[in-house]
Structure 1
Amino acid sequence: MTPLEMLAVLVAGMAAGTINTVVGSGTLITFPVLLAFGLPPVTANVSNTIGLVPGSISGVIGYRRELAGQGGRLARLGVASLVGGLVGAVLLLRLPEGAFTAIVPVLIILALILVVVQPRLSRWVARRRERDDSAAPEHGGPVLFAAVCATGVYGGYFGAAQGVLLMGLLGVFVHDDLQRLNAVKNVLALIVNAVAAVFFLVVAEVSWQAVALIAVGSIVGGQIGAKAGRRLPPAVLRGVIVVVGLVAVARLLLG
């Protein structure tokens, strides 16, 4: 990479770390940048996943106060994320690269739709809670466990907007403060990314230069997201995500 390209990847990693901690979808920032600089799609996805793990850890540390008293919930749902993330990572490397190139544009478009409708989803969850005061399983029950596992498969395979999916599921099935649920989301996404990253380290081709740049940027971004990210205009963040996501779709489809 040229120095300018290295700076772009570093900045993209910082933006992704911030967005992942606040909402999710940071992959839609970093993945198109890596594609634009010539990395093959699967190598770009693998390197991106590994590089974002330190940023996920940073975000979890930033939300540590909200995690208090949620050990049981994290243990239960963490198993679902671990299993799902490993299955998704295996699928990424077992399926031919042509399948990834064909599937990912569809996944990105679905992720972009989720990003756009996320405010409405959040309002719907809030209204549902106001109407339904009945007791809910502390950990969301078996349906949430299965849904988190399925989300982990998606996250291990590609992962864009994994956080949006998790927040939607947690908000529907678990009655708790949304900031506490956001902290759980960060841990579950970290588990998926970490187990996939460990698998990729052993068997996949990795661009270590990209990994290092994204890692450094995402660590800084994770702290920004935990401390000040909630003050950033949500519409601006969503607009950036949609633009770069469309760029990624065009890059994959046009080659």
Structure 2
Amino acid sequence: MEPVSLIVLLVMGTLAGAINAAVGSGSLLTLPVLLALGIPPGVAVRTNTIGILFSTFGSVYGYRREIAEEKGNLGPLMAVTAVCATGGALLLLISPTGALDVIVPLLIVFALGMVVFQKRITAALRSSQERRAARRAAGSTATAAAERGRGPVTAAGPALEGGAATEAGTDAIVGAASRSPYRSPGLIGTMGAASVYGGYFTAAQGILYLGVLGAFTGRSMRSVNSIKNLLSLIVNLAAATVYLIAHFVLGVEIVWLATAAIAVGALLGGYFGAHLAKRMPEWLLRGIIVAVALFALVRQIL
């Protein structure tokens, strides 16, 4: 591989690491470059995944305090994410090379759509979640009112007084509120599906995770960004482990020089570049991602 190509990958890896820490979708900078260098799609995805893994090490370390605050609630979510990401990586290994020539351009288009329409997708998911929460709250209120009106009969015989019913209802609401949204079955199941995509393709997975986490927790993108970075680390680590085993056992190809260039840049970008990425205008970040990805897309098609 030529020195100029390695320098380009190093620079793109640094930018990708910074973007991953702040938003996500950094692989849409590095993966298209690998494809533009003539590396086959499957090899490019594996090479990029192992290299970009180092960006998540840096970003998770930078968010270590925020992650520590939620660590007691993340066990099931982390386990499902790891298993599903492993499945996605295995799916890439068994996908025929000819199929990848068609699938990868389609996935780039899909990832680009998530980048361009991120705000609309996130708003739609959050609106749907809020409507479901409002319906559940209305149903709980109606049930509580009915119970107060007819006085529920206990096993001991006498009906509960209105005050007792109200107190029981309040306790139930407080108990529900005390449960972490990160333990929600809906969130865990949806993140499992998203992790299959992440293990298979990696590009723009962070944006997808931000949308899912924001919608199901009701929290801002900034507040769930730490957990997004942790889950991205788990997905990339699971996929990289699969690819490394396949490389040493089955001889599956990985371009190690390209991996090293991306890894060095991604590690630096993930740790030091997050603040820069957050200060860059959003239109500039999206513009760079879209331009590079479109260039690779055109090259793939032609």
Aligned to 1:246: 294
Aligned to 2:199: 156
How far apart are the structure 1 equivalents of 2:99 and 2:129?
40
Structure 1 length as normaliser, TM-score? 0.92
Aligned to 2:240: 197
Cα deviations by residue, 1:205-241 (Å, 9 ceiling, x for unpaired)? 1111011100000011102343332111111001111
Shift of 1:123: 5.0
Structure 2 gaps, min length 5? 138-176, 247-251
The alignment partner of 1:35 has SS state of helix
The alignment partner of 1:146 has SS state of helix
Aligned to 2:12: 12
Aligned to 2:26: 26
Please say if 1:115 is aligned against 2:163.
no
CA contact under 8 A between 2:77 and 2:183: conserved in structure 1?
no
Cα deviations by residue, 1:88-118 (Å, 9 ceiling, x for unpaired)? 1100011101111211111111111111111
Moved more, 226-235 or 197-206: 226-235
Shift of 1:128: 7.5
Moved more, 207-216 or 121-130: 121-130
CA contact under 8 A between 2:214 and 2:221: conserved in structure 1?
yes
* Matching residue's letter, 2:296: A
CA contact under 8 A between 2:41 and 2:104: conserved in structure 1?
no
The alignment partner of 2:120 has SS state of helix
Which residues in structure 2 correspond to 1:1-255 (within 5 Å)? 1-123=1-123, 135=177, 138-203=181-246, 204-254=252-302
CA contact under 8 A between 2:108 and 2:297: conserved in structure 1?
yes
The alignment partner of 1:69 has SS state of helix
In structure 2, do the counterparts of structure 1 residues 195 and 141 end up closer, same or farther at CA, with 3 Å as the change threshold?
A: same
Structure 1 gaps, min length 5? none
Shift of 1:127: 6.8
Cα deviations by residue, 1:29-70 (Å, 9 ceiling, x for unpaired)? 001111122211111110100001111110111112221321
Radius of gyration: which is bigger?
Answer: 2
How far apart are the structure 2 equivalents of 1:37 and 1:110?
22
Cα deviations by residue, 1:113-151 (Å, 9 ceiling, x for unpaired)? 111111334555677788868657522521211111111
Structure 2 length as normaliser, TM-score? 0.78
Moved more, 218-227 or 144-153: 218-227
* Matching residue's letter, 2:286: R
Aligned length: 254
